[in-house]
Structure 1
Amino acid sequence: MSQPTAAGDAAPATMRAVVVTRPGGLEALEIKDVPVPVRKPGWVRIKVKAFGVNESEVTTRKGESDAVVTYPRVPGIEGVGVVDEADEADEDSGLRPGQQVATMMGGMGRAYDGAYAQYVTVPAAQVIPFETGLPWDVVGALPEMFQTAYGSLTRGLDLKAGQTLLIRGGTSTVGLSAATIAKDLGATVLSTTRSPERAGELRAAGVDYPLVDNGTLADQVRELIPDGVDSALELVGCSVLPDTLRTVRRHGTVCFTGALAGQWTIPDFSPFMIPGGVRLTSYGGQAADLPADVLAHQLQAISAGRLNVPVAKVYHGLEQVRDAQADLESGTTPGKHVVVLDD
């Protein structure tokens, strides 16, 4: 497995990238030679070493993303690599050539070209420096899922040591990451799967109480925690949100972060569906919600074996991006699909 290394010679004039020229199936993911992106002031150019493959990129490829207004587009909402070029002021703050960095979100891969390429340019504010000896296939799995999980647990739920947390949608990459982070924070974790045979995956992530989700959880949760859990992370969506709200104690909080089941809105919503005293919030996610010191702590915890990284499969080279998206869509292998760009 390749290890993080310093940047080499100056960037070439052209690079290889996966380009979606028109919405479509897997065939819409075309590998092309394109110009290396020119860095704008206030932006950083990164030599990409690895990137995760996400549902939002499948949506972009299919033409179903409201955030993508024009094609062609290079997908990729996250990536890790080394700084190739930055403003002098950014170099003084740590973003100097060769520095290991992660980036994610902020319109990347949708409003502007993303990380399915040898180089990507992004605003300096969404670049997180780090130092690690972990291989790129591990580090490449982290940015989006750890940022979403950590942001949901902290900004969304303000989770504290000793509290109880329910994760609905627990075998998703964010759900598995949230479980490992919550355990590292000192919480007791309940987490769900629709398939009894996948309960072992939850236990491997540190979950204290794996639950089989048959559409109603409130009774199951209250058999274990009669007053209700302190916090709940909703990843399944609005179809089950009313039931999730009933699992939480008075003055507890539900954070709506994802909609794995595809329903993002509730028709004829009434505020009175929220039980008295229960708080409902949401989390959308920004790179700033994963500070450099937090990422450093998580990398150290992975190295020490306290945090598990749920990697489903590692792919090598842009030629395997189609395979990665196909495997992601099949849903047969839990965890993160990671593409590594070997030198």
Structure 2
Amino acid sequence: MSSDGSMRYITISGFGGPEVMSVATGPRPTPGPNEVLIRVSAAGVNRPDVAQRQGTYPPPPGASAVLGLEVAGTIAAMGDQVSGFEIGARVCALVNGGGYAEYCTVPAGQVLPVPDGLDDVAAAAIPETLFTVWANLFQMAGLHEGQDVLVHGGSSGIGTTAIQLANAFGARVFTTAGTDAKCDACLKLGAAVAINYHQQDFVEAVKTATDGRGVDIILDMVGAAYFQRNLSALARDGCLSIIAFLSGPKAEAVNLTPIMVKRLTVTGSTMRPRTEDEKRAIRDDLLDKVWPLIAEGRVKPLIDRVFAFEDAADAHRHMEAGDHIGKIVLAYD
């Protein structure tokens, strides 16, 4: 990393495939009054990064246009209104953008200490998934001990996190994945039932395993293609929580009757547009309720592959291939 106030970062020449990504050099960002500047040593790679590169997920107003939503590293500087942190402290953070860079600014309320026992690569793999799973599965859907939950895409970064958290809090976890190897990985993480969606209808599998009742909560990232089937798989008073639309956002010819007959709740959210106060509240919950589980080893990131910072385009290719199990991470020199 340069000592002249510059930094390297990943830029895109325009919207498109991974080939639009390259390394560029520019000035380091300066933290605002309530911000922390992190010297980045690792950054998580996530589906929203791919969507932003393709032009379908623009950064919110005021956020960096550089890709990257989660990082780990050390605090290099702080705004004059920041307290509770020290220069040089090891931290990880959910950032609003700018993670694919050697330095990144982030609101102090989105910064967390690196959990005991984790290196920076592992720490960079947890903020985005933990913020998303906690907000949607626990805060909004109200998951609690004794419930049944279905997590779609169980081998993804979100999925592997959701399986472990739901299991740690006493829920019985069902999950879907596209290969037997991915299903096996989900079972090892604590899922009670893993359904290969190429071989089984998940609705029938859920109904069989629950004696026809269905599950209490579904965490869905597929969207339109699964909407009707998700309604069928939910139990009375169940909740469908939608966090992504991998199959598209528009479901046609949907029968909404199950929502009324079974008193279902359909909810969803995206993390990036949330306010700093909302993200700080999630951060505080994670520190109180989840960080001890990570320190005990009951919840831990599953790392699929680590790429060098300069190979960010290859990391995106790997994600789009869909063969990964767990998180993809960029490591910096």
* 4+ runs deviating over 6 angstroms: none
Task: Report Cα offsets for 1:1-32 as digits up to 9, x if no partner.
Answer: xxxxxxxx997411111112322332321211
- 1:232·1:248 contact (CA, 8 Å) conserved in 2? yes
Where 1:121 maps in the other structure, the secondary structure is strand
Corresponding residue of 1:80: 72
Corresponding residue of 1:265: 250
- 2:31·2:37 contact (CA, 8 Å) conserved in 1? yes
Deviation at 1:35, TM superposition (A): 0.6
Task: Report Cα offsets for 1:50-69 as digits up to 9, x if no partner.
Answer: 11011221222233334479
- The one of 202, 222, 230 aligned to 2:207: 222
- CA–CA distance in structure 1, aligned partners of residues 321 and 3 of structure 2: 36
- 1:167·1:232 contact (CA, 8 Å) conserved in 2? yes
Corresponding residue of 1:40: 32
- CA–CA distance in structure 1, aligned partners of residues 227 and 280 of structure 2: 27
The structure-2 alpha-carbon separation of the partners of 1:297 and 1:158, relative to structure 1 and needing over 3 Å to count, comes to: closer
- 1:175·1:235 contact (CA, 8 Å) conserved in 2? no
Corresponding residue of 1:291: 283
Where 1:190 maps in the other structure, the secondary structure is strand
The structure-2 alpha-carbon separation of the partners of 1:128 and 1:12, relative to structure 1 and needing over 3 Å to count, comes to: farther
Task: Report Cα offsets for 1:262-293 as digits up to 9, x if no partner.
Answer: 31222466644625211111132253353246
- The one of 125, 148, 152 aligned to 2:132: 148
Corresponding residue of 1:184: 168
- 1:12·1:36 contact (CA, 8 Å) conserved in 2? no
Where 1:309 maps in the other structure, the secondary structure is coil
Query: Which has the higher mean CA deviation after the structures are superposed, 216-225 or 175-184?
Result: 216-225
Corresponding residue of 2:322: 331
Structure 1 residue 98 corresponds to structure 2 residue 83: no
- 2:175·2:194 contact (CA, 8 Å) conserved in 1? yes
Structure 1 residue 234 corresponds to structure 2 residue 215: no
- CA–CA distance in structure 1, aligned partners of residues 181 and 106 of structure 2: 41
- 2:306·2:330 contact (CA, 8 Å) conserved in 1? yes
- CA–CA distance in structure 2, aligned partners of residues 293 and 67 of structure 1: 25
- 2:36·2:79 contact (CA, 8 Å) conserved in 1? yes
Deviation at 1:211, TM superposition (A): 1.6
- CA–CA distance in structure 2, aligned partners of residues 281 and 335 of structure 1: 25
Structure 1 residue 49 corresponds to structure 2 residue 41: yes
Deviation at 1:100, TM superposition (A): 2.7
Pairing 1:102-181 to 2, within 5 Å after superposition: 102-105=92-95, 108-109=96-97, 114-181=98-165
- 1:147·1:289 contact (CA, 8 Å) conserved in 2? no
Deviation at 1:39, TM superposition (A): 2.2
- CA–CA distance in structure 1, aligned partners of residues 307 and 74 of structure 2: 19
- CA–CA distance in structure 1, aligned partners of residues 269 and 118 of structure 2: 29
Deviation at 1:99, TM superposition (A): 2.6
Deviation at 1:127, TM superposition (A): 2.6
The structure-2 alpha-carbon separation of the partners of 1:37 and 1:197, relative to structure 1 and needing over 3 Å to count, comes to: closer
Task: Report Cα offsets for 1:113-141 as digits up to 9, x if no partner.
Answer: x1111111123333334453411111111
The structure-2 alpha-carbon separation of the partners of 1:298 and 1:69, relative to structure 1 and needing over 3 Å to count, comes to: closer
Deviation at 1:255, TM superposition (A): 0.9
Q: Which amino acid aligns with 2:216?
A: D
Identity score, percent: 27
The structure-2 alpha-carbon separation of the partners of 1:207 and 1:24, relative to structure 1 and needing over 3 Å to count, comes to: same
The structure-2 alpha-carbon separation of the partners of 1:341 and 1:30, relative to structure 1 and needing over 3 Å to count, comes to: same
Corresponding residue of 2:184: 200
- 1:11·1:36 contact (CA, 8 Å) conserved in 2? no
The structure-2 alpha-carbon separation of the partners of 1:68 and 1:89, relative to structure 1 and needing over 3 Å to count, comes to: closer
Deviation at 1:306, TM superposition (A): 1.6
- 2:110·2:280 contact (CA, 8 Å) conserved in 1? yes
Task: Report Cα offsets for 1:149-185 as digits up to 9, x if no partner.
Answer: 2222212211111111111222221111100000111
Corresponding residue of 1:3: none
Where 1:59 maps in the other structure, the secondary structure is helix
Where 2:82 maps in the other structure, the secondary structure is helix
Q: Which amino acid aligns with 1:98?
A: G
- CA–CA distance in structure 2, aligned partners of residues 265 and 53 of structure 1: 26
